[in-house]
Amino acid sequence: MTREQNISLVREYVNRHFVSAGMCADVCIHDKNDGNPHAHIMLTMRPFNEDKTWGEKQKKEYILDKGGNKIYDPKKRQYKCKSIPATDWNEQTKAEEWRGAWAEICNRFLEQNNHAERVDHRSYERQGIEQIPTVHLGVAAFQMEKRGIATERGNLNREIEVTNQRFRQLKARIVKLQNWLKEETENTAPPTLADVIQGILSRRERLLSIYRQSESRRENAQFPARKSDNGYGGIRGKSQRYVRVAIRYSG
């Protein structure tokens, strides 16, 4: 997408999922035209009060007994209490929610701007894709690879790509075999006389082909071709002399 479209995408995402919840968001978009546009978003974790002052990140709540009374801790000389976050912005479940929302808005923008690509925040395992994920290169390794310098992580990713390619080829063969087995299982009709004759002829042709190939290899092993002294091709053995003489004195 264009830079303007990327900026609109990030702004809509931040306003819908962060600012609307009461956070302040500081957004920095990096796009050096190197095929890796991305955004850094810094958020506040402390809510605002109604008078627009900063609120507390967490509040203290006393632990009560079965009778609803506060429990005194003689060692600490105070009542037992626990901290309750003022918001759920720091919960781990929010990361999954925000990642899913990012994938949803990205795909909507891609579709609106006639792009076939789609993104998915889920892992290959969760998507049901049997593929080994690559590792993150990092800034230093990425710059070294860009200059043609092989790195440990780059080599690992290349090995993973080769393994995934072989795995896809093997999977395609398995699917092809499964389809063939399915067709054979569904084909319950007895073979006709024409099918039997065709099978015999096919086997005969295969055997003849194998026999011809073996004979050709055997002859080549016994009489390998070589270049003669006068530049003419010949066959080793007594016939080579006769062939050379016939060519030399002809005409």
* Average pLDDT along the chain, 251 residues, taken 10 residues at a time: 92 94 92 86 89 85 86 87 87 92 95 93 87 88 90 92 90 87 75 78 84 76 53 45 43 43
CA 157 to chain centre: 11
Predicted local distance difference test score (pLDDT) of residue 247: 42
The H or E element spanning position 16 is helix 3-17
Give the residue extent of every domain in the chain. Answer: 1-45+89-121, 56-86
* pLDDT value for 224: 55
Burial per residue of 196-208, b for 16 or more beta-carbon CB atoms within 10 angstroms, e otherwise: eeeeeeeeeeeee
* Dihedral angle of Cα 17, 22, 23, 29, to the nearest 10 degrees: 40
Task: Please state, in angstroms and rounded to a whole number, the distance separating the CA atoms of residues 122 and 99.
Answer: 9
CA angle 217, 220, 226 (to 5 degrees): 155
pLDDT at position 92: 87
Taking the C-alpha atoms of residue 214 and residue 102, their distance in angstroms, rounded to an integer, is 64
Give the domain 1-45+89-121 fold: BirA Bifunctional Protein; domain 2 (3.30.930)
pLDDT at res. 131? 87
Its pTM stands at 0.57
* Nearest to 101, CA basis, from 10, 4, 29, 5: 10
